[in-house]
Amino acid sequence: MKSQIKIEVQAIVKDKTGKIIKRGPRRRANSLLKAFIQLLAVQMDATSRTIKDTLNADYSCAAGTSNFLLNAPAVTKTYGLVIGTTDTAVTMADYKLAAQASTNWTYGVVTVATANPDASTWRIDITRVFTNETGASVTLKEVGIYARLVSSSNHGCIERTVYTVAVGAGASVTFTYYITITL
């Protein structure tokens, strides 16, 4: 059997009552970015590295138990899963979403769960619900993962994917990343 790692993302849109309006397809995530590899290296060899944070500042990141932290509480828009409105092409040097949607969007709690669907597969599911409080329909065009860089105020964009989904006024969208390893 061939070992593999696969990263996918999916959007599910619900109306104000919680009824599913649209179940988007699971798609391969566009990219793990430069900050992902840098942060992984920091944790693996416990040597500090300079990582560009989401504010475009160079941050000297050291190994620590808060690195890679994604489980942001409700309302927090600085880390965890984040959404945006621009479909600018993804590049390895991206340090943030092109245009994060934050004003009049309610960000829910980020959950991280593991699954073991069969003897040769393990998966992490990272999920967050976003509610459109803008008063109008909005087309989201990007989703990403901002991870903590030890400090509670520095975050790195470790993944960014172009994914288009319309979310009506008062509706919500649940994005889930699926990171799967298979032997």
pLDDT digits (tens, 9 = 90+) for 142-160: 999 999 998 778 999 999 9
Strands of the sheet containing 138-149, edge to edge, are 80-84, 138-149, 151-167
Question: What is the reported pLDDT for 1?
Answer: 57
What integer pLDDT is reported at residue 151 of this predicted model?
73
pLDDT band at 64 (very low <50, low <70, confident <90, very high): confident
SS3 breakdown of the chain: % helix, strand, coil, rounded to 5? 5, 50, 40
Q: In terms of Cα–Cα distance, which of 168, 130, 177, 125 is closest to 21?
A: 168
Share of the chain above pLDDT 90, in %: 90
For residue 22, the Cα-to-chain-centroid distance in whole angstroms is: 20
Question: What tens digit of pLDDT does each residue of 20-38 get?
Answer: 999 999 999 978 999 999 9
Residue 94 has pLDDT above 80, yes or no: yes
Taking the C-alpha atoms of residue 143 and residue 98, their distance in angstroms, rounded to an integer, is 10
Strand-pairing partners, residue 138, are 167
- Within 10 Å of residue 175's Cβ, how many Cβ atoms? 25
Q: What are phi and psi of 76, to 5 degrees?
A: -70, 125
DSSP code of residue 54: T
